[in-house]
């Protein structure tokens, strides 16, 4: 488990068939998650993308489950399996927008992989449900990625940087600069992001 890699650590694989509660999907994308808590040779956490290899799966999945992707966490750090869902439900009751969370029993090629935490991906459907359609730019950033030295790793993990000539992180750069500036202030941060009053 190392943190110095750039981009995606694992490749996407094409699952010939995926069945969920009697609904069948063909040619579904699956990939091991790469954060250290997800690592396992026996029971890895998994990202599922219904439309990765078959665009027709997207509408079918959204209609059936309200999402075109799944996050299946192995919960290796929590043998009780309840901390993640319990925490998100507490946040939700406190008025903090939180992903939906429940459980999935997974079988792969007939092999019982056991219980997984099924977490709603923090993607456009989640954000639109809580904040509407005008989302602006969205970033998923680990704490260390707020440092200027981590710009290359941040860009490598972002789908929006398809153009190798695009070296700008203009809007998030304002926030990074405000945090790294020893004389930083809430005013400088507000210049880069929309902070609710």
Binned at pLDDT 50, 70 and 90, residue 65 comes out as confident
Count CA within 13 A, CB hemisphere, residue 130: 12
The pLDDT of residue 169 is 65
Q: What is the pTM of this model?
A: 0.75
Q: Is the pLDDT of residue 175 over 90?
A: no
User: Which distant-in-sequence residues (6+ apart) come within 8 Å of 195 by Cβ?
Assistant: 186, 189
Instruction: Give the residue among 59, 53, 65, 66 at the shortest CA–CA distance from 26.
Output: 53
Tell me the average pLDDT across 17-35: 91
pLDDT confidence band for 73 (50 / 70 / 90): very high
Buried-exposed string 47-68: b where 16+ CB fall within 10 A, e elsewhere: bbbbbbbbeebbebbeeebebb
pLDDT (0 to 100) of residue 84: 95
Q: How does residue 159 score in pLDDT terms, banded at 50, 70 and 90?
A: low
pLDDT tens profile 117-128: 999 988 877 888
**Higher pLDDT pick, 22 / 147:** 22
pLDDT of residue 11: 86
Residue 2 banded pLDDT, cuts 50, 70, 90: low
Model confidence at 56: pLDDT above 90 = yes
pLDDT of residue 184: 56
What is the three-class DSSP state of 76?
coil
Q: What angle do CA 9, 2, 99 make, to 5 degrees?
A: 65
């Amino acid at each position: 488990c190392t943190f110095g890699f750039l981009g995606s650590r694992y490749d996407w694989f094409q699952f010939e068939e995926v069945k969920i509660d009697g609904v069948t999907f063909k040619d579904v994308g699956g990939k091991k998650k790469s954060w250290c808590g997800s690592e396992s040779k026996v029971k890895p956490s998994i990202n599922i993308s219904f439309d990765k290899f078959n665009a027709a799966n997207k509408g079918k999945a959204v209609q059936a489950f309200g999402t075109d992707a799944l996050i299946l966490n192995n919960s290796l750090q929590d043998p009780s399996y309840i901390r993640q869902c319990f925490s998100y439900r507490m946040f939700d009751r406190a008025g903090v927008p939180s992903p939906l969370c429940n459980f999935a029993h997974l079988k792969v090629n007939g092999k019982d992989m056991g219980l997984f935490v099924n977490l709603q991906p923090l993607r456009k459907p989640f954000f639109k449900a809580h904040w509407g359609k005008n989302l602006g730019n969205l970033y998923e950033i680990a704490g260390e990625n707020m440092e200027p030295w981590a710009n290359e790793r941040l860009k490598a993990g972002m789908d929006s940087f398809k153009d190798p000539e695009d070296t700008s992180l203009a809007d998030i750069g304002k926030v990074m600069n405000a945090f790294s500036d020893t004389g930083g202030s809430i005013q400088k941060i507000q210049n880069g992001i929309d902070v609710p009053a």
